[in-house]
Chains A and B, each alone.
Chain A
Amino acid sequence: MRLLDDLRFIIGLLFAVLGLLLLIARPAFLAPVPGAVNANLVGGIAMTAFAVLMLALALLHRRKDGA
């Protein structure tokens, strides 16, 4: 199976792009409500961590398949 056919890889790629975009853009866009947590930081960390997990699973699956 090609890596691109694995949904985990596609999901990982999407969330890696989104997570990194949020983390990079975080200093430029602050929380609208004073004193609130910056959602870009929360979302960026969560999405990047999830992306790493999905990409790792996709690569492990590929290695297991011997492709």
Chain B
Amino acid sequence: MLPDTTAHAMRLAPLDYGIIAVYFVFVLAIGAILRRHVKTSGHFLMSGRAVPLWITSLAFISANLGAQEVIGMAASGAKYGIMTAHFYWVGAIPAMVFLGLFMMPFYYGSRARSVPEYLKLRFDEKTRALNAISFAVMTVFSSGISLYALAILFQTLLGWSFGFSVLLSAGIVLAYTVLGGLTSAIYNEVLQFFLIVFGIAPLVYVGLHHVGGWAGIRTALAATPAMTHTWTYMGSPDQNPMGIGLFGMIMGLGFVLSFGYWCTDFLVVQRAMVSHDMNAARRTPLIAAFPKMLIPFVVILPGLVAMAMAAKGGAFHMPLKPDGRVDFDMALPSMLAQLYPSGMLGVGLTALMASFMSGMAGNVTAFNSVFTYDLYQAHIRKDASDDHYLRVGRLTTVAGILLSVATAYFARTFNNIMDLLQLVFSFVNAPLFATFLLGMFWKRTTGHGAFTGLLSGTLAAAVTHGVTVAEGKGGWLLGGAAPLHTFRATMSQNFTLAIAAFTTCFVVTIAVSLATRPRPDAEMKGLVYSLTERLSATGLKWYAKPWVIAVLVLAATIVLNLIFA
């Protein structure tokens, strides 16, 4: 039998194009409406720190709900099963609780306008510059990769030209972010969040109805029981499709990678930092954790439903690559194409487009804040007028979008270079959490320690990748010699290099800090746990107390883990 590589081909009706057009009108209207509120650089880059809690909470998770997440998680759901939910129920949720309870008081309380600026206040200018430069480069490249992925997807699904998709999406994101700044990006992220939920949730409902619910999925996938359990097959890496054991999962994903991303990445932390007061800033990730823990049912379940429908036989079939293997990445688009009639097909495609644009706008707005505050104002022009920084912020937005477009075209020419860049980003991100953990909770940590630790951690991640191999990736330092270790899956290798990077950064930071002179305590008040007054929750209603919300979040997460164990 010939492989079916057209299971995801779509034919849009005028109704679908109409729905996409309606969405674009609303997105641009938000930018136009918010334009009159943007009068200072603080409004443009920090939303004037006046965004309501429900909006910051939804934006917090939406900034991360880019297309790579929506399509990638469905692909992982189809490939690894419900175990993929560990990214949420073991990874994201505990990290968001930690951020809200323990780290946000320092970010918000220090009045830093960005994560690199906190590093400047806590450590020194060189640590800030290292973080700001790596973050700025990563965000602009991430935005370009997102744009590239969108163009390739729409070329495959709809036959749209690469250039048309890139310019249309970049043009719309440019228009609404230049007009309304961060507030516009945040408002659109919330709009996009609901669009993604309402665009994809009916697909899950229709699919579940077709296969006979969760029980039907378990029956259809009875030959591979690990697909429908989160914990039962975690005893050994050989038992589950991810090839990961308990330690790698809890330490690598649950601690290093997730805490590293959710607690230190300015792209998401920025959404909480624009809250109107400290309590709202702390509650932002905590409130966001409730919808976040349910996101697997929208992004992972479609992958499982697709596998179950394919296993049951009938009209639905999984898309295949030209070599005959299942194309997991196309699981979600394939379901849209095969289960949605015109109308919802337009909404589903708009949801995909929204997720790409949401990811891109999030990266660009974080990029312009970091560039303007941490690079331009800190190193190029210190004492200019606010109008000047507002202009720089707007110009940086334009530059960020243009660089993203250039990156998308660059990726089209050298696709493997983008894989390499994404790998390098993971080297940079992995050790960052160790720096923050020590910086916030051990007052003896010094700037020299933090800087050296960050560099060493990055190097450790690169070396680990260079001497190990997984699915043909890595081993670039071996020069023909046998790899130090061969992992069953790339994900397992990623978790291991994250652990190596974190541990190295942690140890080196401590060693160098002990050998260098610490800052006086007086200079670190409000920046370090032991030198900061505890925040009082008296006077707040019970449901507004961060620790109460945290307990509820963790209890609900434990229940979800038990249900799907």
In the complex, per-residue mask of A35-51: 1 if CB is within 8 Å of any chain B CB, else 0 = 11111101110110010
**Closest partner residue, chain A, to B52 (CB atom):** A7
B residues near A43, Cβ cutoff 8 Å: 198-199, 202, 343-344, 347
Contact A7 B190 (CB under 8 A): yes
Q: Does residue B33 face the partner (Cβ distance < 8 Å to A)?
A: yes
A17 to chain B, nearest CB (A): 6
Q: Does residue B339 face the partner (Cβ distance < 8 Å to A)?
A: yes
Most buried by A among B198, B202, B315, B316: B202
Contact B202 A39 (CB under 8 A): yes
In the complex, per-residue mask of B336-349: 1 if CB is within 8 Å of any chain A CB, else 0 = 00111111100100
In the complex, per-residue mask of A14-56: 1 if CB is within 8 Å of any chain B CB, else 0 = 1101100110011001111111111110111011001000000
**Closest partner residue, chain A, to B15 (CB atom):** A25
A residues near B528, Cβ cutoff 8 Å: none
Q: Does residue B187 face the partner (Cβ distance < 8 Å to A)?
A: yes
Contact A40 B315 (CB under 8 A): no
| Contact of A14 (CB < 8 Å), options: B23, B199, B201, B315 | B23
Contact A31 B206 (CB under 8 A): yes
In the complex, per-residue mask of B307-345: 1 if CB is within 8 Å of any chain A CB, else 0 = 000000011100000000000000000000011111110
B residues near A10, Cβ cutoff 8 Å: 26, 29-30, 33, 187, 191
Contact B191 A11 (CB under 8 A): yes
Contact A21 B343 (CB under 8 A): yes
A residues near B339, Cβ cutoff 8 Å: 31-33, 36, 39
Contact A40 B206 (CB under 8 A): no
Most buried by B among A13, A14, A21, A44: A14
Q: When chains A and B are docked, how far (Å) is the Cα of A47 from the Cα of B23?
A: 14
B6 to chain A, nearest CB (A): 14
Contact A21 B15 (CB under 8 A): yes
Q: When chains A and B are docked, how far (Å) is the Cα of A52 from the Cα of B39?
A: 33
B248 to chain A, nearest CB (A): 39
The A-B contact count (CB < 8 A) is: 99
**Closest partner residue, chain B, to A43 (CB atom):** B202
Contact B22 A17 (CB under 8 A): yes
Contact A42 B202 (CB under 8 A): yes
Contact A7 B55 (CB under 8 A): yes
Interface size class of B (residues with CB under 8 A): 35 or more
Q: Does residue B13 face the partner (Cβ distance < 8 Å to A)?
A: yes
Q: Does residue B210 face the partner (Cβ distance < 8 Å to A)?
A: yes
Q: When chains A and B are docked, how far (Å) is the Cα of A3 from the Cα of B281?
A: 25
| Contact of A26 (CB < 8 Å), options: B19, B26, B198, B343 | B343
A61 to chain B, nearest CB (A): 10
Contact A29 B343 (CB under 8 A): yes
B559 to chain A, nearest CB (A): 25
Q: Does residue A65 face the partner (Cβ distance < 8 Å to B)?
A: no
Most buried by A among B314, B338, B343: B343
Q: Does residue B205 face the partner (Cβ distance < 8 Å to A)?
A: yes
Q: When chains A and B are docked, how far (Å) is the Cα of A67 from the Cα of B118?
A: 39
| Contact of B19 (CB < 8 Å), options: A4, A18, A32 | A18
Contact B198 A40 (CB under 8 A): no
User: Given A10-B191, A43-B198, A43-B202: A18 and B342 within 8 A (CB)?
Assistant: no
Q: Does residue B390 face the partner (Cβ distance < 8 Å to A)?
A: no
The 10 closest A-B pairs by CB, nearest first: A29-B341, A39-B344, A43-B202, A40-B343, A42-B202, A29-B342, A25-B343, A43-B344, A14-B26, A39-B202
Residues in A lying within 8 Å of B, measured CB to CB: 4-5, 7, 10-11, 13-15, 17-18, 21-22, 25-26, 29-40, 42-44, 46-47, 50
8 A-B contact pairs sorted by A residue (CB < 8 Å): A10-B26, A14-B23, A15-B198, A22-B344, A31-B339, A42-B344, A43-B347, A46-B202
